[in-house]
Amino acid sequence: MTGLISGVARLRLAQLPTPIEPMPRLTAYMGGPQLFVKRDDLTGLGLGGNKVRKLEFVLPEAAAIGADTIICAGVTQSNTVRQVAAAAAKLGYECHCLIIGDRIKPEQYRLDDEYARSGNYLLDGLFGMHPHPCSIHDNRDQKQLELADQLRLTGKMPFVIPYGISNARGALGYVNFVIELASQLGTGDVPEQFDYLVHASGSAGTQAGLLVGTKAIIPGLRIVGIDVDADADRVHRDVVRVARATASLLGCDQTGLADLVTVLPGYAGPAYGVPTAEMVEAVRLFARLEGLVLDPVYSGKGAAGLIGLVRGGYFKPTDRVLFLHTGGWPALFSYASLFPV
Ligand SMILES: Cc1ncc(COP(=O)(O)O)c(C=O)c1O
């Protein structure tokens, strides 16, 4: 099975394999189907999450060009920036990030100023990330290139990480996830097969890797992406594009790949990062019934999607459904006002 990615350069950064756990109390509360969780919130580095898997396949490129500096971009509470900054710290790179401060307007959603200081952003500072202010209205890619030019003038050798770490190489992290999942099926509490995998989908690399991996190795497993960007058509297009690029990188058959893409709208709320009542309910249910911590922007909305699909009769009662916990929980602290104790 590992043959699919053998020969591809990889740097070990994540604590793997991540566990698969049954969620019996959530299953009972919902009245079925059988719900399980794969704990990619436990990938370790910099408090973990899905980006650590992607970085294992993207950062060898930085080493290959002799980089000493990493550049990336994200919102104030970006999980990507946190995990990139942690990896940069561990590997001894300088880290410079465009911080998009105005994609979410905290005051509009009754978030206090913790949004601008706490959670991921606090950790970015601890990991030594150098922030560069950016607006959602700026040309982000252009600004990253300009930042790279400026750093070159000071003698640095920068490497620019693609947005969300969602290019073909980043997606290999989730091809590798499927290889890992296949090796866990039928062991311990883990069933022989899952019928569905549900997860939060945004910049598309996670879902693209899952699709390429499952098509090759676990074809019976249906992948359901929950749009968290309030733009399911864009997410869908990006999943198709990145999945094709990933399949082509691995020399995999692309026939029918685009037909496998499911990105469901309806759970993001009015815009990215904006709290919804369904997300708050999902965060509370996972916490109270399973002791699991979700985040308000990604895994909380993914879980709201899972709960909405169960209630809407999307699954058969006998289905075995795996929720992919993609991490992100440090952001919860920057939304503290939504969860009064
Ligand atoms: C916690 C979390 N879950 C899910 C996602 C979505 O993954 P992708 O961008 O690969 O679609 C992200 C992306 O930032 C994330 O931080």
- Helix orientation angle between 168-184 and 205-217, rounded to the nearest 10 degrees: 50
User: What percent of the chain shows pLDDT beyond 70?
Assistant: 98
CATH C-level class of 51-164: alpha beta
Domain boundaries, the chain: 2-50+166-338, 51-164
* Catalytic hit among 78, 118, 203, 299: 78
Kindly state if the Cβ of 34 falls inside 6 Å of ligand 1: no
78 catalytic per annotation: yes
User: What local confidence, expressed as pLDDT, does residue 109 receive?
Assistant: 66
What count of residues does the chain have?
341
Q: How many CB atoms lie within 10 A of CB 184?
A: 14
Report d(CA 212, CA 183) in Å as an integer: 17
Cα 238 to averaged position of ligand 1 atoms, centre (Å): 13
User: What local confidence, expressed as pLDDT, does residue 309 receive?
Assistant: 98
Q: How many CB atoms lie within 10 A of CB 92?
A: 7
User: What local confidence, expressed as pLDDT, does residue 117 receive?
Assistant: 87
- Does CATH place domain 2-50+166-338 in 3.40.50.1100? yes
Q: 299-323: per-residue pLDDT in tens?
A: 999 999 999 999 999 999 999 999 9
Kindly state if the Cβ of 298 falls inside 6 Å of ligand 1: yes
User: What local confidence, expressed as pLDDT, does residue 3 receive?
Assistant: 85
Kindly state if the Cβ of 33 falls inside 6 Å of ligand 1: no
Q: Taking 90 as the threshold, does the pLDDT of residue 326 lie above it?
A: yes
- What global pTM score does this model have? 0.97
Specify the ligand 1 atom closest to the Cα of 202: 11
Residue 54 tokens, joined: 């992607």
Kindly state if the Cβ of 204 falls inside 6 Å of ligand 1: yes
Cα 22 to averaged position of ligand 1 atoms, centre (Å): 22
Higher pLDDT: 77 or 1? It is 77
Q: Are 183 and 217 in contact (CB under 8 A)?
A: no
Q: How far does Cα 236 stand from its chain's mean position?
A: 15
User: What percent of the chain shows pLDDT beyond 90?
Assistant: 93
Average of pLDDT values for 37-49? 98
User: What local confidence, expressed as pLDDT, does residue 331 receive?
Assistant: 96
Asked if the domains 2-50+166-338 and 51-164 are classified in one and the same CATH topology, the answer is yes
Average of pLDDT values for 148-176? 98
Specify the ligand 1 atom closest to the Cα of 170: 10
Kindly state if the Cβ of 299 falls inside 6 Å of ligand 1: yes
Q: Map residue 164 onto helix, strand or coil.
A: helix
111: confidence class by pLDDT, cuts 50, 70, 90: low
Q: 260-276: per-residue pLDDT in tens?
A: 999 999 999 999 999 99
- What single-letter DSSP state applies at residue 271? S
Specify the ligand 1 atom closest to the Cα of 328: 1
Cα 82 to averaged position of ligand 1 atoms, centre (Å): 12
Cα 172 to averaged position of ligand 1 atoms, centre (Å): 15
What H or E segment, with its residue span, contains residue 100? Answer: strand 94-100
Residue 7 tokens, joined: 């020969």
Strand partners, 121: none
Q: 57-110: per-residue pLDDT in tens?
A: 999 999 999 999 999 999 999 999 999 999 999 999 999 999 998 888 766 666
- In sequence order, what are the residues at sequence separation of 6 or more whose Cβ sits closer than 8 angstroms to the Cβ of residue 62? 70, 93, 159
Q: What is the mean pLDDT of the chain?
A: 96
